[in-house]
Amino acid sequence: MTPKEILERIEQLEKELASLKERVNIEPPQKAENLEPKFDVPELDQEYFLVYANGSTDNLYWGNSVSDYARLVHGNIILTEQEALKTAIYNKLRAKYVAYIKEYNGDWVADWSDKEQVKYYLQWDCFYNSLDIVNTYTNLPTDSDFIFKDYNFLSFIQKRMTDAEIRAVINHDLSCIEVENE
């Protein structure tokens, strides 16, 4: 093929491609947007709330300080008191849940290199509105602190926590947490 024939062939193929795109209405791929996490930065002097590890909450005012930005990056800037209270309750529930798993598991430890050791975790079944026990050998689809040794854990935990509390913890779902209005 001569260079002129190659150029004619390219032109012909470009026309065919344009025709095909029109027929199936294909949009060209878009450039991926910036996937960096986005933080809602409060306005200067705007009140915000933070939750301490012990479960207490505090209100502060945004001052563009290093501490403000450190809290923001760690996800501890909560714009409403109601959400701060829910977060504090969630943290306490999560700590209780993990402590119950440790109590239940005793000396048992999940060995992720052992492909024959069955490990279990809870998940919320939205279709049946119930807790399900799921087993795994190698995958870790949940927080490693939420892994337990056998099926009997469900009845063990349900004697200590409500299903709504368990669901809030395993799904990190603050909507399951109710805060009493004062």
Q: What is the pLDDT of residues 71-86, one digit of tens each?
A: 988 888 899 999 899 9
pLDDT at 38: 65
- pLDDT > 70 in the chain, percent: 89
What is the rounded CA–CA span in Å between residue 64 and residue 55? 25
How distant, in Å, are the alpha carbons of 110, 123, 162, 165 from that of 170? 18, 7, 12, 9
Total Cβ atoms within 10 A of residue 165: 20
Higher pLDDT, 153 or 24: 153
Which pLDDT value is given to residue 25? 65
Any idea where the domains of the chain sit in the sequence?
Answer: 82-176
**60 has a pLDDT exceeding 90:** yes
pLDDT, tens digit (0-9, with 9 covering 90-100), for 93-150: 999 999 999 999 999 999 888 889 999 999 988 888 899 999 888 777 677 888 999 9
Rounded CA gap, 136 and 125, in Å? 17
E strands within the chain?
Answer: 47-51, 57-61, 119-125, 130-136
Q: Which two tokens stand for residue 150?
A: 């056998």
Per-residue pLDDT for 47 more than 90?
A: yes
pTM over cut 0.95 = no
Residue 31: the pLDDT is 62
- The pLDDT-based confidence of 33 (bands split at 50, 70, 90) is low
pLDDT at residue 174 in the model: 84
pLDDT at 152: 92
